[in-house]
């Protein structure tokens, strides 16, 4: 290769994963693996007419005149290094301009390959879009698109692909979510307008919107804004550009639904937000019996329109599968979902009533069981019904839904949450969430729930990044905004928690959960006066002098205001007498923890466990740090069957 000249070349970066840690644990093994890494690279790169330009610790920089040869070489290297002693290796490849001189090689091509390697995971090969173009006429080299990513010191986001071959790892969306950015494959489905003469039919137009949204989530490579953020624009006069900017998407789908008797007219239009160009618009006049076909037709039209714009292969895939032939059952199901998504105890109970009617008339309608599981999970988490019975029902309905249809991601999410909140079965929860993520990798709710599993497993940094990814998919969701704040709080990153919780409160100043979490974050930062003020504000929004007081009692106790702390305990006793179906054992525990009265702390911990509450809060919250160090904690936890720390 001519030195001192700019030229086009394929660049390969490799890096051993975990080398530094291995050096500290077993220096001999680390060096053995490094030497094996170098030997395999030397033999393979020479075989494919490349050149190793630089070794740096546990990594290498190599150069090829052919991108195809570089990819074949990378595959050979990864397969060989799977043999013992196995070497976990990341590889990044890019074709671009480089300058090759005596002191080394540099240029944008080198930087991109380096960033792709750092984005990769052990056992995988990531390549750029530019190199992907060179593989078009090589059907034996199969790749999978992962999306567009913003790479450090690279001006424009790049489309990234993973090489797919036997023995290679293709990273999941979750593993690569940190730097992923929106592209022209991003869309928001705005609630279709109810054009029926009966305003009661709004549940139907909302249901159609959501069914299309859920279908689009299944399209590989398409980023779909989740329901909460899309529905935030329901009934508002915001224009397309404004909506797209707030949701950070390229395309908007909007439309209307007119239902009359057994007839339905659905109008849908796909809009390019940047220039307000209507890509297509169609009207569908059908019988209600054809409703699933219409949903599928609209979803496929959108998916293939976006694929066409991106010069991707068109697919005649089935995105909507009829779940029932009974239109009465389907209508009741839509009404049930409509009320569940109002996120209040009262509406959740109404939604459950509708869903129970569904299974009365069609007892094999899997989505109804899945939504029932979701409803009971909500009521259990809100403390609206006894914990033990709420999560038992949630578990039974989730298992029934999966038995009937194992492709329902929301059923696995409910099952995962139940396994955490009622059993502390982290292994079972992880399996449930892995299945949910496999079924619906683009669903914000799935990622949000998974972040709670990660917190339960003590993986707080991963929980934060997963919650961030969920927020990208559903930026206006109060629950997900708050979850990210809680993830920072549980990780001990209190200043970041406050920043995020303030963002949540900007969306809704009355969102009580964010106020409560902010009160805790301020307390752990030592801002006790601000903490008390925030907890008082939180309590006031409950509109009940006996509710929302345990955090305040804890801070009173920790700041020496014991009289006020005992007043809080008296109020909890009053509520215990008044609200006999509500468990307050953890509330008592929180206040006694502030008083450093560990005998009462462990008394109420035992009572909570007996009541079916596995003390999730105490296991992950900073308040429990000292309590978990006491030997009585493990002793009590281990005394309950199925309860593990």
Task: Name the residue ranges covered by the structural domains of the chain.
Answer: 5-181, 186-309, 560-645
Structure tokens at 526: 């030592």
Supply the DSSP string of 579-604, one letter for each residue.
-TTS--HHHHHHHHHHTT-HHHHHHH
Alpha-carbon span 389 to 422, nearest angstrom: 10
Task: Tell me which residue of 18, 12, 25, 86 sits closest to 58, measured CA to CA.
Answer: 18
What is the length of the chain? 645
Report residue 189 CA to chain centroid gap. 19
Sequence-distant (6+) residues with CB within 8 A of 205 are 191, 192, 193, 194, 195, 196, 256, 257, 259
Are 37 and 58 within 8 A, CB to CB?
Answer: yes
Sequence-distant (6+) residues with CB within 8 A of 9 are 1, 63, 64, 65, 95, 96, 98, 100, 109
Which neighbouring-strand residues pair with 127?
Answer: 93, 161
What was the pLDDT predicted at 174?
61
What was the pLDDT predicted at 209?
79
What was the pLDDT predicted at 178?
47
Supply the DSSP string of 392-434, one letter for each residue.
HHHHHHHHHHHHH-TT-HHHHHHHHHHHHHTT--HHHHHHHHH
Q: What is the CA radius of gyration of the chain?
A: 28
What was the pLDDT predicted at 257?
83
Phi-psi group of 285: left, alpha or beta (phi > 0 → left; psi -120 to 50 → alpha; rest → beta): beta
Are 70 and 116 within 8 A, CB to CB?
Answer: no
Question: Cα dihedral angle (620, 625, 631, 636), rounded to 10 degrees?
Answer: -30
What was the pLDDT predicted at 163?
92
For 5-181, which CATH class?
alpha beta
Strands (E), 201-295: 223-224, 251-260, 263-272, 277-287
Sequence-distant (6+) residues with CB within 8 A of 170 are 124, 144, 162, 164
What was the pLDDT predicted at 302?
66
Task: Tell me which residue of 347, 253, 329 sits closest to 289, measured CA to CA.
Answer: 329
- What CATH number labels 186-309? 3.40.50.10610
CB atoms within 10 A of CB 417: 26
What was the pLDDT predicted at 182?
44
H/E segment holding residue 104: strand 104-106
Alpha-carbon span 486 to 490, nearest angstrom: 6
What was the pLDDT predicted at 588?
96
Helix, strand and coil in the chain, % to nearest 5: 55, 15, 30
Are 536 and 552 within 8 A, CB to CB?
Answer: yes
Alpha-carbon span 384 to 479, nearest angstrom: 18
What was the pLDDT predicted at 3?
52
Alpha-carbon span 248 to 369, nearest angstrom: 34
Are 45 and 51 within 8 A, CB to CB?
Answer: yes
Q: Which residues of the chain have pLDDT under 70?
A: 1-6, 57, 100-104, 153, 155-157, 173-184, 200, 218-221, 290-292, 294-296, 298-300, 302-325, 343-344, 381-383, 641-645
Quote the crossing angle between the two packed helices 550-558 and 528-540, to the nearest 10°: 160
The sign of the dihedral angle between the CA atoms of 440, 442, 446, 447 is: positive
Alpha-carbon span 12 to 192, nearest angstrom: 49
């Amino acid at each position: 290769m001519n030195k001192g000249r700019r030229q086009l070349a394929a660049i390969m970066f490799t890096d051993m994963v975990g080398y530094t840690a291995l050096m500290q644990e077993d220096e001999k093994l680390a060096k053995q693996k490094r030497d094996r890494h170098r030997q395999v690279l030397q033999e393979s790169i020479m075989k494919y007419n490349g050149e190793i330009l630089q070794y740096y610790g546990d990594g290498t920089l190599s150069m090829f005149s052919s991108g195809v040869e570089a990819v074949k070489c990378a595959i050979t290297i990864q397969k060989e290094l799977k043999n013992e002693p196995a070497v976990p290796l990341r590889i990044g490849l890019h074709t671009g301009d480089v300058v090759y001189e005596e002191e080394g090689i540099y240029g944008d091509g080198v930087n991109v390959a380096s960033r792709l390697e750092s984005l990769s995971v052990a056992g995988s090969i990531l390549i750029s879009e530019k190199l992907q173009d060179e593989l078009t006429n090589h059907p034996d080299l199969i790749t999978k698109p992962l999306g567009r990513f913003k790479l450090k010191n690279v001006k424009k986001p790049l489309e990234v692909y993973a090489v797919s071959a036997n023995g290679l790892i293709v990273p999941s969306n979750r593993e690569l979510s940190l730097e992923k950015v929106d592209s022209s494959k991003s869309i928001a489905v705005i609630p279709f307008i109810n054009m029926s003469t009966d305003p009661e039919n709004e549940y139907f137009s909302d249901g159609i919107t959501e069914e299309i949204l859920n279908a689009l989530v299944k399209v590989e490579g398409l980023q779909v804004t989740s329901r909460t953020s899309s529905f935030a624009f329901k009934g508002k006069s915001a224009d397309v550009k404004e909506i797209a900017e707030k949701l950070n998407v390229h395309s908007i789908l909007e439309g209307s639904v007119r239902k009359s008797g057994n007839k339905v007219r659905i109008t849908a239009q796909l809009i390019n937000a940047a220039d307000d160009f209507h890509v297509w618009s169609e009207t569908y006049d059908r019988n209600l019996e054809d409703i699933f076909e219409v949903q599928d037709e609209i979803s496929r039209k959108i998916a293939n329109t976006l694929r066409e714009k991106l010069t991707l292969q068109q697919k005649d895939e089935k995105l909507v599968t009829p779940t029932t032939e009974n239109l009465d059952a389907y209508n009741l199901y839509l009404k049930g979902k409509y009320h569940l998504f109002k996120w209040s105890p009262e509406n959740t109970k109404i939604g459950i009533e509708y869903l129970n009617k569904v299974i009365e008339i069609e007892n094999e309608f899997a989505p109804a069981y899945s939504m029932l599981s979701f409803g009971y999970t909500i009521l259990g988490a809100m403390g609206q019904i006894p914990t033990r019975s709420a999560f038992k029902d949630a578990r039974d309905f989730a298992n029934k839904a999966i038995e009937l249809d194992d492709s329902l991601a929301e059923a696995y999410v409910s099952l995962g949450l139940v396994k955490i909140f009622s059993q502390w079965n982290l292994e079972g929860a992880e399996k449930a969430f892995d299945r949910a993520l496999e079924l619906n990798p683009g669903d914000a709710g799935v990622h949000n729930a998974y972040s709670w599993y990660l917190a339960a497993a003590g993986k707080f940094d991963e929980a934060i990044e997963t919650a961030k990814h969920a927020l990208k998919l559903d930026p206006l969701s109060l629950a997900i905004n708050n979850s990210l704040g809680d993830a920072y709080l549980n990780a001990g990153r209190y200043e970041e928690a406050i920043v995020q919780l303030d963002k949540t409160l900007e969306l809704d100043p009355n969102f009580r959960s964010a106020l409560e979490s902010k009160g805790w974050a301020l307390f752990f930062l030592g801002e006790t006066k601000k903490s008390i003020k925030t907890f008082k504000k939180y309590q006031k929004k409950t509109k009940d002098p006996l509710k929302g007081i345990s955090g305040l009692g804890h801070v009173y106790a920790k700041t020496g205001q014991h009289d006020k702390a005992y007043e809080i305990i008296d109020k909890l006793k009053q509520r215990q007498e008044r609200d006999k179906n509500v468990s307050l054992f953890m509330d008592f525990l929180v206040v006694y923890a502030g008083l450093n009265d560990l005998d009462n702390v462990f008394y109420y911990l035992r009572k909570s466990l007996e009541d079916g509450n596995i003390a999730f809060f105490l296991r992950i919250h900073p308040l429990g740090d000292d309590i978990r160090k006491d030997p009585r904690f493990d002793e009590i936890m281990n005394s309950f069957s199925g309860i593990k720390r």
